[in-house]
Structure 1
Amino acid sequence: MSNELKKPVVGFTCGDLNGIGLELIIKALGDARLLDICIPVVFASNKSINFYRKSLPDINLSYQPVKDFSRLNNKQINLFSCWEEEVQINPGQLNETGGKYALSSLQQATAALKDGSIDAIVTAPIHKKNIQSEDFRYSGHTPYFKDVFGAQDVVMLMTAENIRVGLLTEHVPVKEITGFVTKENILSKLRILNSSLQKDFGISKPKIAVLGLNPHAGDEGLIGTEEETIIKPAIKEAKNQNIMAFGPYSADAFFARGSYEKFDAVLAMYHDQGLIPFKSLAIGEGVNYTAGLPAIRTSPDHGTAFDIAGKGKADQSSFLEAIFVAVDIIRKRSEYAENNKNPLRKMSAVLVANAQDEVIKESDE
């Protein structure tokens, strides 16, 4: 928002009604201190909130129902009612109801994000198969938001205090991964990562590591040729476009030796190659951020957890971190826009980055 004193409006989708989404929202927003940094808007229903609130008696959660975004209460949680009908909630059960109302919440929150009624969105977990319908034929939130906002490409970026990992491919069967490993796709992801690190994370000269596809990054063609014929040429072209990309690195040694600490982000070739080390090494709780959108969307780095749904056991740490990241990116984007309006401020930031820049070896030591 243009007025720096005005708190950003953050929307929350409920996720699968039978999962842990609403419990996470209640636990996270039950901390009144969050009202100091944002204006929360929950997209659900009064009865669904009350259903889960009964199982969390120690949390004092008060909210105001709203139907008009111009009348949001900036000192209280706002509940935007997405449906009025009675809905049967069965925690831990995979059924049509859970997916139907997860989609209703998501669609109405997304509409508010698109028209500027809210400044960012934090999505609670959905069940990717259960939410499938005529209106949702996506493998997850990331391709959904890409389509809704008409983005040419996006990056699923996992971020934590000490590590950021972006994915070349997301929810793709392993046997189909190589079909997506192209010079064009790698360059597209690197451009988005580079831009996002600058605009969303305030890093003037981002350094990005690129992992190889094959064991030992192909061993110079002995265990696969993609590194030599595709990945290295993509990295070379990225450098020609003033993107500080390095690699390709052998994934196992790269993470085991702590090489990721030298970089601002890592581009992994596929889901498990990036997410297994991320979830193992991340300090604090990880957050899933969709880089490349004109809007801001974050989520916790876990799923619906049906096995503990409705039992009051869900840990809200990652969900809270998703809120903090969303609010911080709103601020960083505002600062970036302001710096680009003032060339002297931008030049000063670049000079500072140059002074602090360290030499990075391009080989995997």
Structure 2
Amino acid sequence: MKFNRKVAVTLGDPSGIGPEVFLKSLGNKTIKENLESILVVSDPIVLKKLSGDISHNLKLHDSNGFSNLKADSINLFSIKGCRDYNLGSPNQENANYILSCIDKGIEMCINDNANLVTGPINKLQIANYDKNFNDHTSYLKTTTKADNVLMVLTNPKLTVGLLTTHLPLKEVADQVTKSNLTNAIKTFEQGLCDYFHIKKPKIAVLGLNPHCGEGGKFGNEEIEILSPAINELRLQGFGVEGPFSADTAFLDNNFDGILAMYHDQALPVIKTLDFSTTVNVTFGLPFLRTSVDHGTAYDISNKLIANPASMVEALKIAGYGKKI
């Protein structure tokens, strides 16, 4: 089935497995049949460096945008400036280059009504260059001037959203506010409607504290913040329920999405269920952004043994503009 959206791809840190899993994804029948919809934003040297080790029988086609893509080539928008590097050993001097690729990808998606797929980055590497950088999701929000975004992970078995993302655990409770929760639930519902084509999404909200606070014994956020916000939204017609205790909420999943309060409340569960095909999706941007669910994996990047399944699924969701 042909993609109905153009897709810009950034490969992340060239020292990691991002370029590898992209090149390996070209062995997937669906991806190979949709090359005329895919444009890679990269320095040519990054792809050429691996082409001798990862067989794909495709030429690089230099393109100045989405208007002249070929069906039998790897279409490339060239961004020069990648400094010398070794697989498994990130070069701090490449932080600016990595951000330049992301910026160009964002610009193309906005100007050409395309979707974005991003490869894994080293957050500390970028933060050492740009002190305001925290992660892909917040950078995309700031750069596109989006009002509210939500980090979502999805696979065939489960879909989870995160109220907070890359934040020290001791700071999470301060971000559990009625306003943040309301915005997250609304963004979650809209994304499930727009991209997963669920007409009336059912969303479960997890509690912050053990056993949802046990009536206030272990914390009052469920009583003072979560329950009032959820009840208000239910009166407005939103299909949201909770708060549910996180220790049992995943056992019988009858919801279209589960909103967790923090990163490690949900990601260990979804990645344990199906690590290979889980995809990171950002709701709330002016375009759909997907990404692999794994990091740079420097420990194996020089072995060329990475599994491309998550990249394949990320490309499919971005290309079809929806979860298949």
Q: 1:105-127, CA deviations, whole angstroms, 9 ceiling, x for partnerless residues?
A: 111111111211x6111100000
Q: Secondary structure at the match of 2:89?
A: coil
Displacement of 1:242 in angstroms is 1.1
Separation in 2, partners of 1:79, 1:63: 7
Change (3 A) 1:274 1:114: same
TM-score, L = length of structure 1: 0.83
Partner of 1:40: 38
Say what the alpha-carbon RMSD is for the aligned residues. 2.1
Separation in 2, partners of 1:32, 1:235: 44
Displacement of 1:94 in angstroms is 2.6
* Deviating more after overlay: 202-211 vs 74-83: 74-83
- Which residue, 139, 144, 147 being the options, matches 1:149? 144
Displacement of 1:68 in angstroms is 4.0
Displacement of 1:26 in angstroms is 0.8
Displacement of 1:30 in angstroms is 3.8
Partner of 1:65: 62
1:225 maps to 2:220: yes
Mapping of residues 117-196 of structure 1, within 5 Å: 119-132=114-127, 137-196=132-191
Structure 2 unaligned blocks of 5 or more: none
Q: 1:123-170, CA deviations, whole angstroms, 9 ceiling, x for partnerless residues?
A: 000000101266572211100111111111111001111210000000
Higher RCO (CA 8 Å, separation ≥ 6 residues): 2
Q: Does the 8 A contact of 1:182 with 1:230 survive in 2?
A: yes
Q: Larger Cα Rg: Structure 1 or Structure 2?
A: 1
- Which residue, 237, 245, 250 being the options, matches 2:245? 250
Q: Does the 8 A contact of 1:29 with 1:61 survive in 2?
A: no
Displacement of 1:10 in angstroms is 0.9
2:310 partner amino acid: S
1:81 maps to 2:78: yes
TM-score, L = length of structure 2: 0.93
2:16 partner amino acid: G
Partner of 1:20: 17
Displacement of 1:95 in angstroms is 2.3
Q: Does the 8 A contact of 1:162 with 1:283 survive in 2?
A: no
Separation in 1, partners of 2:73, 2:9: 14
Separation in 2, partners of 1:68, 1:219: 56
1:109 maps to 2:84: no
Change (3 A) 1:68 1:273: closer
Q: Does the 8 A contact of 1:183 with 1:230 survive in 2?
A: yes
Change (3 A) 1:136 1:299: farther
Displacement of 1:25 in angstroms is 1.2
Displacement of 1:272 in angstroms is 0.2
Displacement of 1:90 in angstroms is 1.0
Change (3 A) 1:315 1:136: farther
Q: Does the 8 A contact of 2:158 with 2:257 survive in 1?
A: yes
Q: Does the 8 A contact of 2:206 with 2:259 survive in 1?
A: yes
Displacement of 1:67 in angstroms is 2.2
Separation in 1, partners of 2:2, 2:321: 16
Separation in 1, partners of 2:4, 2:176: 41
Change (3 A) 1:215 1:55: same
1:206 partner amino acid: P
Partner of 1:49: 47
Structure 1 unaligned blocks of 5 or more: 333-365
Partner of 2:321: 329
The percent of aligned pairs where both chains have the same amino acid is: 38
2:293 partner amino acid: D
